[in-house]
Every structure is written in C-alpha cells, then in structure tokens.
Amino acid sequence: MSYDEFGRFIDESDNPNNEIDRQLTEEFIPTYEGSTALLVPKESLRTKVPPRTPAFFNPAARLSRDISILIYTSFIRIYSNQFKNGQITLADAFSGVGARSIRVAKETPCIDKVILNDLNPIAIRAARESARINNVADKCLYFENDIHVFLNARNSIKKERYVIVDLDPFGSPSQYADSLLRAVTDGGLVSVTATDTAVLFGKYPKVCFRKYYSNPINCNYSNEIAVRILISFLGLVAGRMDLSIEPVFAHSHRHYSRVYVRVWVSSNEANKLSDNLGYITHCFNCGDRRTHPFTFQLPLLCNICGGNDRNNKNERKIHIAGPLWIKPIFNKQLISDVLYIDGNNNYGAGSYVSNRDVLVPPSKDYHSDIISNEHMLSEYYSKWSLPPPSRLPCLESSIQISSQKTFRQIFQLLHLASLELDDQPYYYTIDEVGSALKTSPPPMNTILERIAQGGFCGSRTSFRPTGFKTNASMEEIKKLL
C-alpha cells in the first residue's frame, strides 16, 4: 500500500506511472537497429502494419533512419563551423519510442544534444529507457507536448533554435510546416517525411492542392513529382516567414517520401523562390513531358501530337503538375561526403583517408564507369569490405550491424543521386520507351550510350532502378534508339 505526500492513500492501479511501468515490462522488448538497442512494442515486430498503441514503431522505416544518420553526420561534418555559437542540437518532434533520435544520440557523436518530443508518454518512457541502456541519457532531453507547443516554445521562450529538426508524422506533414520552420536555426536542416503517398502521387489531386498548394500527376514518375511538390510546399511556407530553403537530399519509397532541406533567414533569397518553382506538362498520348518556368502560358495542345485537341474527343488531355521544385534537389558535396568521394572522384578521401585500404573501390575509373557498366557495381559491392566500426564512429550504425542488403541499397541510392541529372525534374522508364518504340526495350546502358552519342546528357535516377534522365525529349529519344 502507498500514500502520497499528504498521507492520502494511493490506489496503485490508478497511477499512470505504474501502468506505464507495467506496459513497458509486459508489452515492450529490446531490439537492435544500427548499433543501438531500442525498447520497442513487441506487437510492432510481429504485425505487418505496426499498431499505434501502446506506442508506434515501424521496423520497415529502418532504411529511412539509416539514411538520416548518414545525412546528419555529413551535414554536421561539413557545416558545423556555421553553428559556432552553440551546441549542435537535433529535435525529433514526433519521436515515438526514439528510434531515430536515440540512434542519433548513440551513433552520431558530432551531435551534442538530442531533444525528443511525443504526445504519447509511454513512447517517451520507452525512449528514456533506451537512452539509459545505450549510455546516452546525458545527451537526451524529453518532452510530452503537442508538437506545436514543443516547436514554438523553444523559439519564443529561449530564442534559440535547433540545428536539425526532424518531422515524421502519421500522414501529411503539411499542418506542421509553420511550426517546423520556426524552430530551425539559420542555415539549419529540416528532414520531413510524408506518408500520404496516395495524395502526393496524384490519386487525390484536390487534397494535394489544399495540403501542398500543388497539382500532382498520377504517372510513371509520380514519386519524383511527390518529393518536388513537398520541397516546393516547404519553400512556399518558408517564403511567408522571410525564410528561404535549399534542398539537400530526397528519396521516395512505396510508403513515404522524405526530403532534407536547409533553411535560411533571408528575405532576399526568399524572393528568388519563384525561380526555383515551375510546372511539368505530361502528354498521356505520346509520353512527351516538359518543364516550364513558374510564369508560363498554359499549352492547350501538345506540341508533338496535338493531344488535348478539343475537336478530337478521343485525345487524352495534357496533365499539368505543379507548382513544384524544378531546380536541383541533391547537395552533391554532401552526398560525396557520405560516400567519401573527393573532387577527383577518389573514394576514401576527406576525414577518412586512413580508411582507404578498406574503402577504395576496385577501379579508379569506377565512378565514371558506373553508368555504363552494371557489372562493376556488383563487383564493387562484393569487394566492399566492411570497416571495423571503431575506425568509422559516425558510420558504425549502418556498417556494423546493417545487413549487406540494406547497406547496398543505401549505397546504391546515394551513388545514383550523386550522378543524377537532378536539374531535370522527371525521368523516363525503359519500359515506356519500349512501348513507344513498339519493340522490346534496349538495355539501360545502350539507351544511355545512344543519348550520349546524340550529344545529349543522360543519367540513371535514384528514384527508380529502370528509370533514366535526359535533356532529350521523348521524340528525340525515339529517334536516337
């Protein structure tokens, strides 16, 4: 039996802390992700769709968290001198059980303080316990507030902002964007996940317009359109607050789109927002697609096939996506840092010169050859020997524990991004080129070689294994092949 400080009897079954203790003991289990032990709900490891109670944890989001660790680490390594005045802080505004932030605390020594927030007290208790198990409790601070209270309190009371803020809500991040952008410091980084893929991929255009001020298209390359709409939306919200944005990285998977964006306090830069935004027109008749600046005259007919001709009722309409971000979305310097590529395309450079013996690829020309030689990629992977974690403290998570498969997936994604023509906001797929030619499609290497021989630029895309980018139009591609 127990009593409170005034001598009143406490029925322990009513005590929320006891109930949380019980749930932690009975319903949670330790698991490993990266080199971090995490206390997670047992049920989340058993079911395909992770339950929201007693707390939310999605094991399938591991790839996204692995990538976060790499991007945050390189971001701080490259830009930490711009945040001299204070600690390097990361706020995980929807932390859940702390899968991302406790990993950051453990696996990125370059981040001084990690601040977790979640409305669910059980999730926060689990995160505290994980921090204790991993010996990073001193680095962590916890809040159980509504996200707006959490993000705005920091800004208005302490006049300090976070260097990195992560936003990983259920569904759309749209309604949190204002608070998010207010909470990040000048030059800081925000990482944002959107899981309302049906909306961003064009299934519900009206919802997309009201949430993201943009029209999507449901087409082959909707996943790239989705991240570009998300970036444009952040730019539009930032612009209202005299902030400007600079995309750093983006990726898209079946269930989510995720973007990394730097935020600057600058109304001058914010004025340039419209230069970065534009539209894509896509003709569903002939596959022609084009980028247009923000101020363009709506084309009524397709330049190529006349699609959208009102006199011809069988013609399908040209679809228009946008406004969306039409300028580059990858900070190649940062991606190269993650991959250890220096200015001469040497791997193992920068702060990891001492690790050359384990990181150097089989051929010095590997980097330039990769587009045309798929075999080299697999050769490189098979020759990649994982470095001892003690020698790569910032990367130990992904390298030490991660399965070879996840590691290859991340490497391939980042590598393709480092070579991607990302000023082209759309891609083509091998299959659609095949059906346009009415033959079986040529292999990727042949397509890219012919594009280069024709004097055009070409690259693969990180958004799809069978996708490629080029400044050649569909008509020109067909002629070249």
Ligand X SMILES: C[S@@+](CC[C@H](N)C(=O)[O-])C[C@H]1O[C@@H](n2cnc3c(N)ncnc32)[C@H](O)[C@@H]1O
Q: Which residues in this chain contact ligand X in the complex, by CB under 6 A?
A: 56-57, 61, 65, 94-96, 99-100, 118-120, 123, 146-147, 168-170
* 436 lies in the binding site for Zn ion (CB under 5 A): no
> Which is closer to ligand X, CB of 60 or CB of 301?
60
286 binds, among ligand X, Zn ion, none (CB under 5 to 8 A by kind): Zn ion
> Which is closer to ligand X, CB of 51 or CB of 388?
51
DSSP single-letter state for residue 454 = T
* Alpha-carbon gap, residue 61 to 45, rounded angstroms: 12
**Segment lying near Zn ion (by CB under 5 A), choices 106-114, 242-250, 279-287, 382-390:** 279-287
* Alpha-carbon gap, residue 331 to 78, rounded angstroms: 12
57 binds, among Zn ion, ligand X, none (CB under 5 to 8 A by kind): ligand X
* 457 lies in the binding site for Zn ion (CB under 5 A): no
* 466 lies in the binding site for Zn ion (CB under 5 A): no
Phi, psi of 139 (to 5 degrees): -90, -10
Provide the pairing of β-strand 277-283 with 318-325: antiparallel
Closest contact distance (angstroms) between CB of 94 and ligand X is 4
Closest contact distance (angstroms) between CB of 49 and ligand X is 12
Closest contact distance (angstroms) between CB of 337 and ligand X is 24
> Which is closer to ligand X, CB of 253 or CB of 327?
253
285 binds, among ligand X, Zn ion, none (CB under 5 to 8 A by kind): Zn ion
> Which is closer to Zn ion, CB of 152 or CB of 285?
285
Closest contact distance (angstroms) between CB of 252 and ligand X is 17
> Which is closer to Zn ion, CB of 284 or CB of 456?
284
- CB neighbour list of residue 415: distance below 8 Å, 6 or more residues apart: 339, 370
* Alpha-carbon gap, residue 215 to 213, rounded angstroms: 7
Q: How many CA atoms lie within 13 A of 294 on its CB side?
A: 13
Closest contact distance (angstroms) between CB of 182 and ligand X is 15
422 binds, among ligand X, Zn ion, none (CB under 5 to 8 A by kind): none
Secondary-structure breakdown of the chain: helix, strand, coil percentages, each rounded to the nearest 5: 45, 20, 35
Alpha carbon 480 to its chain's center: 34
- CB neighbour list of residue 464: distance below 8 Å, 6 or more residues apart: 221, 223, 427, 429
DSSP single-letter state for residue 57 = -
* 304 lies in the binding site for Zn ion (CB under 5 A): yes
> Which is closer to Zn ion, CB of 280 or CB of 283?
283
At residue 106, the 3 state secondary structure works out as helix
At residue 11, the 3 state secondary structure works out as coil
Q: Give the C-alpha distances (Å, rounded to integers) separating 110 from 22, 265, 336, 395.
A: 35, 24, 18, 12
Residue of the chain from 96, 235, 307, 387 that contacts Zn ion (CB under 5 A): 307
* 474 lies in the binding site for Zn ion (CB under 5 A): no
Provide the pairing of β-strand 257-265 with 277-283: unpaired
Check if the beta carbon of residue 191 is closer than 8 Å to that of residue 164. Answer: yes
* Alpha-carbon gap, residue 361 to 76, rounded angstroms: 26
448 binds, among Zn ion, ligand X, none (CB under 5 to 8 A by kind): none
288 binds, among Zn ion, ligand X, none (CB under 5 to 8 A by kind): Zn ion
Residues forming a β-bridge with 320: 281
Residue of the chain from 180, 225, 237, 302 that contacts Zn ion (CB under 5 A): 302
DSSP single-letter state for residue 287 = -
Closest contact distance (angstroms) between CB of 26 and ligand X is 19
> Which is closer to ligand X, CB of 57 or CB of 407?
57
Residue number of the CB closest to ligand X reads 96
* 401 lies in the binding site for Zn ion (CB under 5 A): no
Amino acid at position 128, single letter: R
Residue of the chain from 131, 238, 280, 283 that contacts Zn ion (CB under 5 A): 283
Closest contact distance (angstroms) between CB of 450 and ligand X is 43
Closest contact distance (angstroms) between CB of 260 and ligand X is 15
Residue of the chain from 168, 246, 288, 422 that contacts Zn ion (CB under 5 A): 288
Nearest to 66 by CA among 346, 386, 396, 350: 396
**Cβ atoms < 10 Å from Cβ of 357:** 9
Provide the pairing of β-strand 89-92 with 113-117: parallel
* Alpha-carbon gap, residue 397 to 393, rounded angstroms: 8
* 286 lies in the binding site for Zn ion (CB under 5 A): yes
> Which is closer to Zn ion, CB of 109 or CB of 299?
299
164 binds, among Zn ion, ligand X, none (CB under 5 to 8 A by kind): none
Nearest to 202 by CA among 286, 313, 296, 324: 324
Binding mask 342-361 for Zn ion (x = CB under 5 A): --------------------
Closest contact distance (angstroms) between CB of 64 and ligand X is 8
* Binding residues for Zn ion (CB under 5 A): 283, 285-286, 288, 302, 304-305, 307
